């Protein structure tokens, strides 16, 4: 029988509520024991919904409780401090993306994890999609042959979140779409390809829409409405080219705002076959069959809820039944890549990644 773990959730905003729902979907394995948010009324509402006995407005007090593990669902600027404190308090940690504001902070979290001996899983939930898992399996089995190039495209025509709030304030978020949504696709792309050694990047970052707050035209705004007295000092579009030594490469386009149609996909190009993921279309191998160019349509069971899958894998990792679904070291690699993209954009030149 699985050991039921006592869970604490730090941060009860949108993503915190998603985590709560995921744990509640695994009642035989998890019990939400404690909630924390600086907004007492938000904690009370969630506590009533899930019958949570302990409520806090200070995460340090929650970490003194008897929870076994915590989900860290606070703003980006607090990820390092809360994750390190939780690990030092002897708690397993599911840390929302991005892992930290930068790779230096990510390395501090990794050091704390190693010292604590506790599980740290990064919330890279996109890789829990069934098609991503299937593509990874095909790469491992050699179905695609040698993977030599990856294409990452994640374009939102008008998708700036909470303009003038913490999302668009670099000191609080760490950056724009690269660190907000690009982080998911970079992680999923490297996960599928099995390439965790980016060595150099050449990129450009732009801010063409966000700084002109009152002239920004949009249909809807997540985390809105806009605060015109706030700050927009991050990018709204980024593009570039990543090298993985001499073995492979990756091109990317990521935006919150751009005069182009919405477009989302990760494409893996191999010497035997290619595959495009996350574009909303049926998954197919672009390949050859019996000496003819051919498309192979793949049948597979879709993932009902990727956050539920992520939580279940985290609980298994806490029980030492499986490794974390997204490791701290992988999270650190993603942060190194994003750091290098920003640096290359500032310098307008290629940047090496150590």
Residue pLDDT tens, the chain, 354 long:
468 999 999 999 999 999 999 999 999 999 999 999 999 999 999 999 999 999 999 999 999 999 999 999 999 999 999 999 999 999 999 999 999 999 999 999 999 999 999 999 999 999 999 999 999 999 999 999 999 999 999 999 999 999 999 999 999 999 999 999 999 999 999 999 999 999 999 999 999 999 999 999 999 999 999 999 999 999 999 999 999 999 999 999 999 999 999 999 999 999 999 999 999 999 999 999 999 999 999 999 998 899 999 999 999 999 999 999 999 999 999 999 999 999 999 999 999 999
Task: Count CA within 13 A, CB hemisphere, residue 174.
Answer: 27
Residue 236 belongs to some domain of the structure: yes
State whether 71 and 201 are in the same domain: no
Residue 328 belongs to some domain of the structure: no
State whether 232 and 311 are in the same domain: no
State whether 208 and 313 are in the same domain: no
pLDDT score at 2: 63
State whether 225 and 284 are in the same domain: yes
pLDDT score at 3: 80
State how many domains the chain has.
2
**What DSSP string describes 252-303?**
EEEESB-SS--EEEEEEEESS-EEEESSSS--EEEEEETTEEEEEEPP-PPP
For the entire predicted model, the pTM comes to 0.96
State whether 35 and 113 are in the same domain: yes
CATH assignment of the domain containing 86: 3.40.50.720
Alpha helix stretches (DSSP H) within the chain: 14-24, 40-50, 59-62, 79-88, 103-116, 130-140, 170-173, 177, 183-193, 306-318, 328-347
CATH assignment of the domain containing 205: 3.30.360.10
Task: Tell me which residue of 205, 212, 204, 206 sits closest to 164, measured CA to CA.
Answer: 212
Residue 329 belongs to some domain of the structure: no
Domain span at residue 81 reads 5-126+307-323
Token couple for 149: 């190039």
State whether 165 and 277 are in the same domain: yes
| Contact call for residues 109 and 327 (beta carbons, < 8 A) | no
State whether 315 and 346 are in the same domain: no
State whether 153 and 259 are in the same domain: yes
State whether 121 and 133 are in the same domain: no
CA torsion through residues 291, 292, 298, 299, sign: negative
State whether 139 and 163 are in the same domain: yes
pLDDT score at 179: 98
- Locate tokens 């974390």: which residue? 324
Task: Count CA within 13 A, CB hemisphere, residue 96.
Answer: 27
């Amino acid at each position: 029988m699985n050991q039921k773990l006592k869970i604490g959730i730090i941060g009860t905003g949108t993503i915190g509520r998603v985590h709560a729902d995921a744990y509640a979907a695994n009642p035989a394995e998890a019990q939400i024991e404690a909630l924390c948010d600086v907004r007492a009324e938000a904690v009370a509402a969630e506590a009533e919904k899930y019958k949570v006995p302990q409520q806090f407005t200070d995460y340090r007090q929650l970490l003194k409780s008897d929870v076994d593990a915590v989900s860290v669902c606070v703003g980006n600027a607090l990820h390092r401090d809360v994750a390190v404190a939780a690990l030092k308090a002897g708690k397993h940690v599911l840390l929302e993306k991005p892992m930290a504001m930068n790779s230096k902070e990510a390395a501090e979290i990794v050091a704390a994890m190693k010292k604590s001996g506790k599980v740290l899983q990064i919330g890279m939930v996109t890789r829990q999609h069934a098609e991503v898992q299937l593509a990874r399996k095909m790469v491992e089995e050699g179905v695609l042959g040698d993977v030599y190039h990856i294409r990452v495209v994640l374009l939102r025509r008008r998708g700036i979140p909470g303009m003038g709030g913490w999302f668009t304030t670099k000191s609080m978020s760490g950056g724009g779409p690269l660190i907000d949504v690009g982080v998911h696709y970079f992680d999923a792309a490297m996960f599928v390809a099995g390439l965790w050694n980016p060595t150099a990047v050449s990129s450009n970052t732009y801010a063409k829409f966000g700084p002109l707050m009152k002239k920004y035209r949009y249909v809807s705004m997540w985390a809105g409405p806009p605060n015109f007295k706030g700050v927009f000092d991050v990018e709204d579009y980024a593009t570039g080219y990543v090298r993985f030594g001499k073995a492979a490469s990756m091109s990317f386009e990521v935006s919150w705002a751009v005069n182009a149609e919405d477009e989302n996909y990760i494409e893996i190009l191999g010497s035997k076959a290619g595959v495009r993921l996350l574009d909303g279309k049926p998954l197919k191998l672009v390949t050859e069959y019996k000496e003819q160019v051919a498309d192979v349509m793949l049948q597979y069971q879709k993932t009902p809820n990727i956050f539920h899958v992520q939580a279940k894998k985290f609980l298994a990792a806490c029980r030492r039944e499986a490794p974390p679904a997204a490791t701290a070291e992988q999270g650190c690699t993603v942060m190194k890549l994003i750091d290098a993209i920003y640096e290359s954009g500032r310098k307008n030149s290629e940047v090496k990644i150590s």
